[in-house]
Amino acid sequence: MSGTRLNKYIASSGLCSRRKADELIESGVVMVNGKKVTELGFTVNPKDKVFVNGKMIHPVKHEYYRFYKPAGYITTADDENGRKTIYDLIPENLHHLKPVGRLDRESTGLIILTNDGDLINDLTHPSVKVPKLYRVSINGKISQKDIDTMYKGIEIEPNKIAYAEVDVLEVDNNHTIMEVMLYQGLNRQIRKMFEHLGFEVLTLKRIQHATLNLDGLKRGMIKPIKPQQIKELRNFLNRIASKND
């Protein structure tokens, strides 16, 4: 039977990733042409009508953007406390896009925005160690012992071990500027790691996520990601995934 696999069709609507779509199918909330479908290998054709939780979905064109987040904004669409969000800076016609990961309120730097659920999953799933590079300054002189401790791992919360690779760029008795590489996505990971070592993070900026960086962006600016860059990003993620298999 020709057609598109149901999980891919659901993911192409921007609702979720293919993995999450499989869970929705198995849970019995997906209907095709009025009939419940729980078969993971089920395929659909362009004229078929697909519903998830009673709502009809349609494939959409995937969009990809880079955004340079300034300090003072949180990475969410809504905030019950009335704080400023990144969507206050993003054009309204792009408000349907979702951020890939988060940066806390005072952190700055690169955020990828997309409606491609599969890509979001591939960039954030714990099983895929996607590198993220940060420029960080702290209020003191870091030692080699501290760097080694961060590499070996620090328990920032009960049963949560955080790891980081550190490359010092500038250091004196009052402050240290460094690049910090993460392969995890734990909440406020860098700040908690330095706090554990007795330092305060003064500035924190994400400068690269996988193959994408801040080149050509100023704070508060958003730009579409070129098709060639998406191709390079997918190839990079495929190489990482093959190493983890």
Same domain for 163 and 152: yes
Same domain for 118 and 219: yes
Q: How many CB atoms lie under 10 A from the CB of residue 233?
A: 21
What is the rounded CA–CA span in Å between residue 3 and residue 125? 28
pLDDT digits (tens, 9 = 90+) for 194-233: 999 999 999 999 999 999 999 999 999 999 999 999 999 9
Same domain for 192 and 220: no
Same domain for 151 and 190: yes
Calculate the alpha carbon distances from 69 to 111, 177, 214, 220 in Å.
Answer: 7, 20, 10, 6
Segments of the chain assigned E as strands: 4-5, 30-32, 35-36, 43-44, 50-52, 55-57, 64-69, 98-99, 108-114, 132-138, 154-157, 160-162, 165-171, 176-182, 201-209, 212-213, 222-224
Same domain for 162 and 46: no
Average pLDDT (51-70) is: 94
pLDDT digits (tens, 9 = 90+) for 106-131: 999 999 999 988 899 899 988 889 99
The confidence score (pLDDT) of residue 53 equals 95
The confidence score (pLDDT) of residue 245 equals 60
Nearby residues of 152 by Cβ (< 8 Å), 6 or more positions away? 163
* Host domain of residue 45: 4-57
Mean pLDDT of the chain, nearest integer:
93
CATH code of the domain covering residue 32: 3.10.290.10
Same domain for 11 and 53: yes
pLDDT digits (tens, 9 = 90+) for 43-59: 999 899 999 999 999 88
CATH code of the domain covering residue 203: 3.30.70.1560
Same domain for 149 and 201: yes
- Whether 104 is catalytic is yes
The confidence score (pLDDT) of residue 18 equals 86
pLDDT digits (tens, 9 = 90+) for 18-46: 889 999 999 999 999 999 999 998 999 98
Q: How many CB atoms lie under 10 A from the CB of residue 47?
A: 6
For tokens 């953007």, what's the residue? Answer: 65
pLDDT, greater one: 243 or 213: 213
pLDDT digits (tens, 9 = 90+) for 144-194: 999 999 999 999 999 999 999 999 999 988 899 999 999 998 899 999 999
pLDDT, greater one: 153 or 13: 153
> Residue 2: is its pLDDT beyond 80?
no
> By percentage, how much of the chain surpasses pLDDT 70?
98
Q: Which of 78, 79, 88, 104 is catalytic?
A: 104
Same domain for 46 and 24: yes
> Residue 1: is its pLDDT beyond 70?
no
Q: How many domains would you assign to the chain? A: 3
Q: How many CB atoms lie under 10 A from the CB of residue 12?
A: 21
Asked if residues 66 and 212 have their Cβ atoms less than 8 Å apart, the reply is yes
Same domain for 145 and 193: yes
What is the rounded CA–CA span in Å between residue 191 and residue 202? 9
CATH code of the domain covering residue 107: 3.30.70.580
Same domain for 224 and 175: no
